[in-house]
Structure formats: C-alpha cells, structure tokens
Structure 1
Amino acid sequence: MPSPSTQETPPYAIEAYGLTKSYGNQGRQGKRGKPAVRVLDHLDLRVAHGSVFALLGPNGAGKTTAVRILATLTTADSGTARVAGYDVVADRSAVRRAISLTGQFAAVDETQTGEENLRMMARLTGLSRPAARHRADELLERFGLTAAARRPARTYSGGMRRRLDLAAGLVGSPEPGVFFLDEPTTGLDPRSRQELWEVVRGLAERGASVLLTTQYLEEADRLADRIALLDKGSIAAEGSAADLKGRVAGHRLDLVLTSRDAYLRLTGRAVHHSPETLTLGLPTDGSAAHVRALLDEIDPAGTEIGRFTLHSATLDDVFLALTSEVPAHV
C-alpha cells in the first residue's frame, strides 16, 4: 500500500458509490426474526478537497450509519467507498490515520483538565512528553481554550467541550485531513453552536475536508459548500444551498386563509403548511406579475385570503418539496 506521501492526490477527499446497509434479518436455524430495515439505499457521495459537505436529514435518515461506514466503524452490505484515497475496507488502518471523527456527544474525560486531555491523547498516539506538551499547547491556542487549559473539563460549557473534543481528534491526525462531524451541535445552546460553526469554518479555511451531518437546516445553509438531502437512506437532492432553493422556487408566497375550508382546498399545492394559523406557502418566482396571477387564481372573489407575505425560499421549502419528512429547526 502506498503511503500518503507517495500516493497521487485522489480526485475527492471522500467518495462512496452504492452504499447499502440493512439491520435485522430473518433469524437463524429456521426461526423467524425481525424483518430487515434498510438504513442506506445505494448512497452515492463525493466530497471535494477543502470543502464542507453537509448531509442533511431528520433522525433515522441514515446519516450516522453513513459516517460509521466511511469512518471504518462498520461495514456496508454492498457498495464501495474511499476516504483520503484509501478503501475503507481494504485500507482501514490508513483511513483511520487520515481522519478525525467527532460524534454527537463530547468524548472527553471530564475529570481531567483540557490540557491533560490533549496531552494524554498525544501520548497515546506515540508522541514523546515534550512533543505531547507542545502539541497540546498548540491545539489549546488554536481552539481558543488556553485560558481554560488547567480547568477540569467538567467546568467547560457545552461549546468548549465540543471544541476540546475536536482538538483531541486532531492530536494524531495529519492536517489538513478529513473530518467527520456527526451532528456536532446536538444539545448546544445558540451561542455555543455559533462558536462551533466558527471552528468548522476555520478547519475548511486551513484546507480540511469536512463531512458534516446535521438535522438543522440553518446549520447546513450557513456552513456547507454543498448539501445533500438524505431521505430514507438515499439522496433526494444535492447541490449548493442556492441551487437547492432554486429547484423549488426562488421565493415563497405565504397566504393566511380566512377559513379552514379554503385552507384544506389549497393544501395540496403548498410547500409550507401551518394548520394552526391557516397559513400555506406556495412557490413563486417572486415577480409582481406571478404573485398577482397566483392571488387572482386562488381567490378570484377576494374573500379567502386574509393577508399574504412574500419571502425568499428556504431549505425548509426544499425539504418539504423533495423529501418525506422535515428536519429540526434551530
């Protein structure tokens, strides 16, 4: 197996073709087991070098399973994948040396200080004591944790613990490297989430390739160069945030109806639904002519629309139009 230094740069930091994964089976020795549930259904992914790629979907869509396969923590039933140029099955050890994986919850020892956590990780990767101390200091400064370096990790805020977790993942990984961030902002308050977004941007600016899984629409919109909408284990749509919004409409016309009958009559045409407020959102190109035509068509008598609002399309609209479920909001 060639070393990273002699291997030609692969076309993509991450590439996967036809990944399929099911859990459950028909049991053994003739006993009937639980029916298999397909979590991934011929998933294709390509993540460019130095980019942030968001895999967006609700809980149960298959995001974590995809990350586990790409990070060599489990194997696919079928399909192939390469990370940093290495096959995730045949070259598992090389893949693990090239990546950093951060899960949904910070994996740090809360009884140790931030400094001790990083030094311990550095020593486990084989660094000498002086080298481990230098590497820990370097990462503490980079992730804005120097002032809290000698405090126990249990006293850190949620955002600080996540930053320490990311730093720990970098201790023994070559940079810029490939990062898997599996719903890294789960459970964080808005301020901590913003702090982590800055860290992710910084990783990309330094040339890292980041695969970010999230169920937060705003997170994908703010961070990702490219977004894939995952629905029931397969990609429903892929592109930049602007590309995806353009697929359903450039704008959305929100209508507040005057009666439930009017709401129910029009609900099939909408990409946004709010039955509590009798509000429906319809796609439009945003031009005055199109908005006027929609209003005249929907309510020629001028009695069924109480008021309306025009605004730019969001990833909410994309998800409602192209998938079967809606992910969480920030």
Structure 2
Amino acid sequence: MSHILSIQQLGKTYASGFEALKNVDLDIRRGEIFALLGPNGAGKTTLISIVCGIVNASAGRVLADGHDIAREFRAAREKIGLVPQELLTDAFESVWATVSFSRGLFGKPRDDAHIEKVLRELSLWDKRHEKIMALSGGMKRRVMIAKALSHEPKILFLDEPTAGVDVELRRDMWAMVRRLRDDGVTIILTTHYIEEAEEMADRIGVIHKGELILVEEKAALMAKLGRKQLTLHLQQPLNEVPQGLNGYTLELADDGHALVYTFDTQTEQTGIGALLRRLNELGVDFKSLQSSESSLEDIFVNLVRSRS
C-alpha cells in the first residue's frame, strides 16, 4: 500500500528551548484511518499544525501526496483538510457562505453540487441560510467539518473532533468518517475517547513528550500488549495466594474473596485448565469465574506510564 503522507525526522523547538517534537518519522498509508494518541502536551497538535502549514518545523521534511509542504505548499495544502479542536468560524456568515468561501481559499472553482452534498451528509442542508452564531455547539462542529471537506481533500485531520459533542452527533460523525474512508480519503485523528480509536482505527500511533514511541496495527497491538484475566470468586476468602500456586501470575482481590489470574494474549496455552486442577488439589473452591481482556485504553495508559 502506498504512503499518502510521509513525515521524516520532524522536529520542533520553540524560542524558549522547549522541544515539542523530536525526530518524528511516520508514514501514513493511503485510505487508512490512523489514530494518534497521547496525553495532553505530548505533541499531537504541534505535529498536525506543522503538516497543515500552521506552524513551521525546526527540522525534517513532510510530503503530502508527494508534495513537499514547504517548497510546494500550495499543492500540498490543497490535499489536506483540517478540523481543529477550536470552533473557529465567522459568526455573522451563513453556513452556505462560509463553506463555499473555504473552498475558494484553495483555488477551487465554484461547485454548488459538491457543497450541497457535503451539507446534506452533515445534516446542515436545512440550516444552510442560518448565521453561524445561531447554531448550537454541535452544529458548529459540523460546519467545521464541512469547511474541511469543501475543497475535496485526500487527507483529513480530525483533532479531537468529538470533544464536547453529544452521543448522537458522535455516532453520526463516525459514520461519516467511515464513508469518507470508503471514498478513498485518508483520516488521521486524535482523540481522548480511546474507545473511539479502538473501534475506528486501522493503525495506532502513540506520542509522548514529543517522541513517537509506537506505531502498530491495531489488532497486532492488542494481541502483543493486551492481557487477559480470569477472576475466580472464591467460596472462602484467602489471606494470601497459596504456596502451591507460585508458578502462576495470581493476585488476591476483593479482600481475599477473589483470585485473579493474568495471562498473555499471545500464548495459545493459557494454563487455565492446569490452574483449575491445581486449585482443586489444594482444596481452594470457587463459586464462579469471569474473564476479561485489556482494552486499548489499558494499553495506552500502561505505555505512557512506562515512559514517564
């Protein structure tokens, strides 16, 4: 699969000496949904701002669909749409006027049919003549997305796109993201709703303190770093894990009323059968058992903590 965005040795150091990005290398595949995760201040927005031409890099190179964002900035930016965190719109303009104007900023000829299509997909068609200031926060977010799509970009950045929006709008937005991906648009998103990244993304990147510490296929990441747990709810509480179970990764929970066994998701032989037999031999009885598996949020938190 070809790369539509190539980031090479990208760095950003501010006049204060703060190093916001440190030699970031990242290739984004054409037509994928890529989730960039990281705590506040990790460098996500700085990275996006450099690619979109808002912030100048201190070092490195970025190619957008083969165009250098510094030397061929007009051609590069024509390929990119951005939905920023902030709701930046002209409050006194109508929805139709502000979206049409955004298309013109990229040198695109007037195309009323395309603008209508975008507004209909975002449920904005009935509000096309309303002033931005009269819209709700969720509708303003939809207008920001419409502006980003007005010039038919091949790469779309969504920087915290669902922050502060209701559940219905969030679902509508992710349905729209899937349609865009099906139409060949490459999506790069940042989000603090990690369950969204787990559901939507093809690949996951984690950035921390300006460094890209991990890029992995979502399924491979879940298999590699995920954990499974079996919780046995005991008939009688224990004060400590019996000595005869030293070969298992076990810990007590619920004031000794539960025994938790953790095992690797990559291992075909879980050892559960042997553990249950050993418990029976030791006279440890349980009344029920429950299995659980690590979420992407668990993996993300553990990764960041290990680097802090």
| Residue identity matched to 1:284 | D
Mapped partners of 1:88, 1:279: distance in 2 = 56
Q: 1:284 aligns with which of 264, 268, 282?
A: 264
Q: Matches of 1:212 and 1:39 in 2, distance apart?
A: 19
> Of residues 160, 179, 187 in structure 2, which corresponds to 1:210?
187
In the alignment, what sits opposite 1:143? 122
Instruction: Give unmatched runs, 5+ long, in structure 2.
Output: 242-248
Per-residue CA deviations over 1:37-65 (Å, capped at 9, x if unaligned) read 32222211111111111111111111111
User: Quick check: 1:159–1:193 contact (8 Å CA) kept in 2?
Assistant: no
Match of 1:28 in 2: none
Q: How does 1:188-227 map to 2 (within 5 A)?
A: 188-227=165-204
What secondary structure is seen at the aligned counterpart in 2 of 1:14?
A: strand
Retained in 2: the 8 A contact 1:251–1:312? Answer: yes
Amino acid at match of 2:125: T
| Cα distance, 1:22 vs structure 2 | 2.5
- Structure 2 CA distance, aligned partners of 1:307 and 1:74? 56
- What whole-Å deviation, never above 9, does each CA across 1:154-211 have from its counterpart, x for those lacking one? 443433322221111222x2x3511111111122222222121112112111111111
Matched with 2:9 is: 18
What percent of counterpart residues are identical?
Answer: 29
Render the CA deviation track for 1:87-136: whole Å, top value 9, x for unaligned.
122222221122111101232223333223223334555667xx354443
Q: Which moved more, 1:246-255 or 1:107-116?
A: 246-255
- Matched residue count: 295
Select 2:59's aligned residue among 68, 75, 78. Answer: 78
Residues 222 and 301 of structure 1: is their aligned pair in 2 closer, same or farther, counting only changes over 3 Å?
Answer: same
Preserved CA contact (<8 Å) 2:10 2:24: yes
Cα gap change, 1:306 to 1:83, in 2 (>3 Å): farther
- For residues 5-60 of structure 1, the C-alpha deviation after alignment (integer angstroms, 9 at most, x for no partner) is xxxxx9411111221223344xxxxxxxxxx3322222111111111111111111
Confirm or deny: 8 A CA contact 1:159 1:196 kept in the other structure. no
In 2, distance between residues paired with 1:234 and 1:166? 28
Task: Name the CA shift for 1:294/1:228 in 2 (closer, same or farther; >3 Å).
Answer: farther
Q: 1:114 maps to what in 2?
A: 95
**Is contact 2:3–2:29 with CA below 8 Å preserved after alignment?**
yes
State yes or no: 1:164 paired with 2:155.
Answer: no
Match of 2:246 in 1: none
d(CA) in 2 for partners of 1:121, 1:215: 28
- Counterpart pick for 1:184 among 134, 146, 161: 161
From 18, 21, 25, the counterpart of 1:37: 18
Distance (Å, rounded) in 2 between the aligned partners of 1:325 and 1:189: 33
1:316, distance to aligned residue in structure 2 (A): 2.0
Q: Please point out which of 48, 68, 83 is paired with 2:29.
A: 48
Q: Deviations over 1:259-299 (max 9, x none)?
A: 9999xxxxxx89xx99xxx998844338785246678999x
Q: Distance in 1 between matches of 2:37 and 2:55?
A: 21
Q: Do residues 312 (structure 1) and 289 (structure 2) align?
A: no
Determine whether 1:247 maps to 2:224: yes
Counterpart Cα distance in 1 of 2:131 and 2:51: 33
CA 1:126–1:245 in structure 2 vs 1: closer, same or farther (change >3 Å)? closer
Structure 1 residues 289 and 324: alpha-carbon distance in aligned structure 2, compared to 1, 3 A threshold: closer
- TM-score, normalised by the number of residues in structure 2: 0.78
Please, which moves more after superposition, 118-127 or 107-116? 118-127
Q: Which letter maps to 1:201?
A: R
Relative to structure 1, is the Cα distance of residues 78 and 132 closer, same or farther in structure 2, using a 3 angstrom cutoff?
Answer: same
Cα distance, 1:242 vs. partner?
Answer: 1.2
Task: For 1:114 and 1:68, locate their aligned partners in 2 and report how far apart those are by CA, in whole Å.
Answer: 25
Distance in 2 (alpha carbons) for counterparts of 1:64 and 1:232: 12
RMSD: 3.9
Q: What is the TM-score when the length of structure 1 is the normalising length?
A: 0.74
